[in-house]
């Protein structure tokens, strides 16, 4: 046992001498003007400058320097790891004013949000409480929100994230429905032309269009009058397609009909329940079963 312990002591002594030797080499190299070690990229590593709000940037505890902060996070002066370290050290959970142009309004995993473009290439998602009215804001309008900075993101594919958002100008509610359509319990027939104008109106996100369709128009009876753009069958169903206000609408008649009895360009009128609407505006709407008027 003594023999083994003496070997351990000898090994420890050797290790100590090696460390001291390297230390003396480092000291002598500094005295001789030798450059100290650098990072793998060949540049000296220095901590990023702090990103703190100045007194003029603060109002009611909310920072107003988000555009400058995003310029730092989007720039090339720091590596991605440095940006994350800077975010965690100086920015995470700080309250910021998020001001810019609305690009989207919707829900994600049950949470309501407004997407705001603060800087080109810097999209910020402000998450709001359940009482927030999704129809109160329009795509393209300028807004001012505040929120707690919780996700650095990239600004493009992965948006910057702000929790506990609120409108700095005060809460809003959506405008009353001016489409000519009333509450869902009404039995009158709606003009599909007016309905399409509402659903395709500029300034609405896909989620907002879906909400309007579900609240106001789904399964409501509509009168579809327009020129035929297509006649055919799909999965065994015969259909007639018309275009109204830029929206293609597939009409599925309740009774069988001769495909050759209709021609492209002919004006037709059908009435039936409005059963399907694609809020992205990429697919045809659907009215079924319909009767010809």
Q: Specify whether the CB–CB gap between 228 and 242 falls below 8 A.
A: yes
Domain that holds residue 81: 59-167
Asked if 69 and 137 sit in the same domain, the reply is: yes
In a domain, 26, yes or no: no
The answer on pLDDT for 17 being more than 80 is no
Question: Model's pTM, two decimal places?
Answer: 0.73
Residue 247 is predicted with a pLDDT of: 95
pLDDT value at 2 more than 90: no
Query: pLDDT-derived band of residue 1, with 50, 70 and 90 as boundaries?
Result: very low
Question: Using one digit for the tens of pLDDT, what is the confidence trace for 107-166?
Answer: 999 999 999 999 999 999 999 999 899 999 999 999 999 999 999 999 999 999 999 999
In a domain, 273, yes or no: yes
Whether 279 is in a domain gets the answer yes
Domain count of the fold of the chain: 2
Q: Are residues 93 and 152 in the same domain?
A: yes
Same domain, residue pair 201 and 274: yes
Asked whether residue 86 is domain-assigned, the answer is yes
The pLDDT assigned to 164 comes to 96
- Rounded Cα distance between 155 and 118, Å, is 10
- Asked whether residue 228 is assigned to any structural domain, the reply reads yes
Q: Do 194 and 160 lie in a common domain?
A: no
Considering 108, 133, 167, which residue would you say is the last residue of a domain?
A: 167
pLDDT of residue 15: 45
Q: Residue 172: its pLDDT value, please?
A: 87
Question: Between vectors from CA 101 to CA 91 and to CA 198, what angle results, nearest 5°?
Answer: 135
Q: In this structure, what token pair is assigned to residue 251?
A: 């009409």
Shared domain for 163 and 195, answered yes or no, is no
pLDDT reading at 257 higher than 60: yes
Instruction: Specify whether 201 is located in the same domain as 282.
Output: yes
144 and 220 fall within a common domain: no
Q: CA dist 50 to 69, 76, 91, 150, 154, Å? A: 11, 16, 10, 18, 20
Domain boundary (134, 167, 200) is at 167
- Is the model more confident about 22 or about 108? 108
Question: Over the stretch 43-79, which tens digit does the pLDDT of each residue have?
Answer: 545 567 787 776 666 667 899 999 999 999 999 999 9
Tell me 278's DSSP state. Answer: -
Q: Which CATH number do you get for residue 150?
A: 2.40.50
pLDDT of residue 179: 47
pLDDT recorded at residue 13: 39
90 and 157 co-located in one domain: yes
Rg of the Cα atoms in the chain: 32
Mean predicted confidence (pLDDT) in 196-203? 94
Q: CATH number of the domain at 237, please.
A: 2.40.50.140
| Pair (151, 223) in one structural domain | no
* Residue-level pLDDT at 52: 75
Answer whether residue 8 is part of any domain. Answer: no
Asked if pLDDT for residue 292 goes beyond 60, the answer is yes
Please tell me the predicted confidence (pLDDT) of residue 186. Answer: 52
Which is more confidently placed, 157 or 179? 157
């Amino acid at each position: 046992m003594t023999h083994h312990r003496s070997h351990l002591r000898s090994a420890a002594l050797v290790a100590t001498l090696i460390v001291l030797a390297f230390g003396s080499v480092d000291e002598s190299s500094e005295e001789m003007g030798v450059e100290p070690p650098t990072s793998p990229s060949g540049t000296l590593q220095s901590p990023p400058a702090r990103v703190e709000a100045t007194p003029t940037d603060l109002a009611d505890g909310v920072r107003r320097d988000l555009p400058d902060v995003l310029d730092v996070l989007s720039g090339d002066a720091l590596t991605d790891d440095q940006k994350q370290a800077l975010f965690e050290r100086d920015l995470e959970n700080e309250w910021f004013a998020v001001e810019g142009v609305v690009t989207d309004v919707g829900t994600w995993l049950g949470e309501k949000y407004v997407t705001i473009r603060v800087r080109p290439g810097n999209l910020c998602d402000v998450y709001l409480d359940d009482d927030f009215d999704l129809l109160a804001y329009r795509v393209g309008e300028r807004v001012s929100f505040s929120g707690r900075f919780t996700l650095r993101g990239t600004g493009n594919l992965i948006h910057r994230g702000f929790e506990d958002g609120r409108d700095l100008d005060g809460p809003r509610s959506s405008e009353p429905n001016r489409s000519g359509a009333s509450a869902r319990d009404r039995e009158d027939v709606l003009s599909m032309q007016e309905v399409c104008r509402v659903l395709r109106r500029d300034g609405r996100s896909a989620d907002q269009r879906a909400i309007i369709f579900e609240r106001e128009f789904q399964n409501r009876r509509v009168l579809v009058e327009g020129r035929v753009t297509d006649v055919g069958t799909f999965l065994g169903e015969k259909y007639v397609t018309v275009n109204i206000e830029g929206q293609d609408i597939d009409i599925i008649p309740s009774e069988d009909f001769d495909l050759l009895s209709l021609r492209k360009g002919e004006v037709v009128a059908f009435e039936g329940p409005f059963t399907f609407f694609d809020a992205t505006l990429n697919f045809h709407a659907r009215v079924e079963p319909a009767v010809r008027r």
